């Protein structure tokens, strides 16, 4: 057995993989948010369409996108493997201890939260990414260049209050998922320090609140603008 297979078969290796893929996905969220906030620039979608166009034609970004999808898949697959392993190791749970005193609600429900985020992601990709890549999106002129009108797809989607509500609730799930995932990833990597761990936990909580709140603001603001 090679060291890669050995590592991936061990619980520690699987946890490491979850942590590393989680870090990458956290980074993706920051970049994705920065791009999406351009939807709120009052220029009729010009900045956002230019950004979406530049991302679509850039070979480096296209490679990162494929890696991103691969890492999302790994993160999901290994979360299922780890959950199964944990259930096997402790089928009845701790009878005498009250779980809520030892752990947070989010940490005990990472699987459920992850599943809800996965459902969000599938709906999200179907609504935006798939329509842009495999549909026939409207075109718009940016200077002399004709580009996909990604902006109008998002505008149309966020006219629907049910869709907006779905995004906002999903961002609450994302916040809880990140509130445990961020600090937990550092711990898995062995970064466990008397002085720095409380700081990492605080930064993690701040991140878990800020990023999903800003994401949730986008559909809310666009819905209000559409009224
Ligand atoms: C208001 C919030 C959001 C908006 C307006 C938004 C918008 C978009 C749009 C327009 C695309 C298609 C881009 C393209 O292919 O050119 C996209 C792709 C994507 N979004 Fe979002 N997004 C939001 C939140 C999220 C969140 C919270 C996640 C993750 C939990 C996410 C994950 C993705 C992924 C994985 C892709 C595919 C990226 C790729 O092609 O590599 N998005 N999003």
pLDDT at 8: 76
Residue 176, domain member (yes or no): yes
Look at residues 162, 163, 172, 30 and name the one whose alpha carbon lies nearest to residue 113.
172
| Count of domains observed in the chain | 1
Its domain, for residue 61, covers 3-89+103-226
Q: Is residue 183 part of a domain?
A: yes
- For residue 94, is it within any domain? no
d(CA 49, ligand 1 centre) in Å? 14
- pLDDT score, position 111: 92
Residue 98 in domain: no
pLDDT for residue 92: 56
Question: Is residue 97 one of the residues assigned to a domain?
Answer: no
How far does Cα 11 stand from its chain's mean position?
23
How many other CB atoms are there within 10 angstroms of residue 3's CB atom? 8
Is residue 190 included in any domain, yes or no?
yes
DSSP state of 194: T
**From ligand 1's centre to the CA of 65, what distance in Å?**
11
What pLDDT is attached to residue 73?
A: 97
Residue with CA nearest ligand 1 atom 38: 65
95-125 in b/e burial notation, b at 16+ Cβ within 10 A?
eeeeeeeeeeebbebbeebbebbeebeeebe
Indicate which CATH number applies to the domain containing 42: 1.20.1300.10
pLDDT beneath 70: ranges in the chain: 1, 90-102
């Amino acid at each position: 057995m090679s060291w890669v297979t050995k590592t991936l078969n061990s619980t520690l290796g699987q946890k490491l993989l979850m942590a590393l893929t989680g870090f990458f996905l956290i980074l993706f969220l920051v970049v994705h948010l920065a791009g999406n906030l351009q939807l709120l620039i009052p220029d009729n979608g010009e900045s956002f369409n230019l950004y979406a166009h530049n991302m679509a034609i850039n070979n480096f970004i296209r490679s990162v996108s494929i890696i991103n999808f691969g890492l999302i898949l790994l993160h999901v697959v290994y979360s299922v493997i780890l959950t199964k392993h944990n259930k096997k190791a402790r089928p009845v749970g701790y009878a005498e201890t009250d779980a809520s005193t030892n752990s947070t609600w989010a940490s005990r429900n990472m699987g459920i939260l992850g599943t809800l985020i996965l459902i969000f992601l599938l709906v999200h990709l179907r609504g935006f990414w798939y329509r842009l890549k495999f549909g026939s999106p409207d075109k718009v002129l940016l200077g002399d260049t004709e580009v996909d009108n990604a902006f109008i797809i998002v505008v149309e989607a966020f006219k629907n209050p049910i869709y907006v509500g779905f995004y906002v609730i999903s961002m609450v799930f994302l916040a809880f998922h990140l509130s445990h995932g961020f600090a937990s990833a550092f711990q898995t990597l062995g970064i466990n320090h008397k002085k720095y761990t409380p700081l990492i936990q605080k930064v993690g909580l701040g991140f878990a609140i800020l990023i999903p709140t800003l994401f949730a603001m986008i559909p809310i603001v666009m819905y209000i603008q559409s009224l």
